Amino acid sequence: MEGPTPVSALIHAATLVVSGVFLIIKCSIFFENSDTALIVVGLIGALTAFFAASVGLFQNDLKRVIAYSTCSQLGYMIFVTSLSCYSVSLFHLVNHAVFKALLFLSAGCIIHGLSDEQDLRKMGGLINIFPVSYAMILIGSLALVGTPFLTGFYSKDCILELAFSKYSTLGNFCYFLGCFAACCTCFYSFRLIFLTFINPTNSYKRYIEEAHEAPIKMLVPLMILGVGAICYGFLSRDLMIGLGSLFFNSVFIYPHHFDLIDAEFLPAVVKNIPFFFTLFGGLSSFFLIHCFNINKGTILQIKLSPLCRPVYVFLNKK
């Protein structure tokens, strides 16, 4: 679903693409009475989260990377509804709206200041030209990958803990695909940052000479969303997913499907597994995209090796 960047920020963050999630939440009474429907929703959601994240790994369009990230996060929202955790799904929907709008609008500032260039391969070295946009994309990306104590952390980790605490085949399936999706999310988020801001530039000289930071009237909304990406999850977590919250008293859940208490008391090792997956994705991005960038022949050899070439082609072709 493509459109102008401000429109993308609206439809990908909080309106059009998440309407199906909101419909499932409002129709919870129908899904609660059909275990088959819950299983189908869980399978589709978990597969969507993983496959969309894998497609985003090697996309070269700035907005397309963020768009596939949206598709992956929708998978999280969908599969957690199959675990009868509708309030957590809506909590992640709202959190995602904040930092995804921040990412899209920040990407729009980069595209606007770089003569409408969207190809990551033709960027690089922009950190000194776009310092505010860089800070906003960094905050949005950290919130997206679930960095502790940022907005995405409170809903994303809760989703994965709930999946594990189901102790069922569907729960384990959603949990491990969600962890692999988190690894891919961290990889392509930092890949975007490295290729756009930190690596040596591949852009045309004329584009760099004319590049400029967005005007203040474009930066003020980014700063407001940046504060939301840092604070909103912490401030609203007890209101939306806390025990005894009446915020979602219109959502129907059978008592034997309620597992929020079990998720709270999981062992610390289990709670930290998604963080280790995320850390692995970030380190992989650092070494493959940033460190090896000095010797581009090394990256080319890795891509053309008998082991990596089929994987790279498969993911690059979606």
Residues 81-139 have pLDDT tens digits of: 999 889 899 999 999 999 999 999 999 999 988 888 888 888 888 898 999 999 999 99
pLDDT of res. 246: 63
Place of tokens 């960047």: 5
Residues 199-237 have pLDDT tens digits of: 888 888 888 888 888 899 999 999 999 999 999 999 988
Can you tell me the mean pLDDT for 136-147?
95
What residue type is assigned to position 105 of the chain? L
Residue 160 clears pLDDT 80, i.e. is over it: yes
CA distance 187 to 145: 9
Q: CA nearest 78: which of 178, 179, 150, 187?
A: 178
CA distance 242 to 233: 12
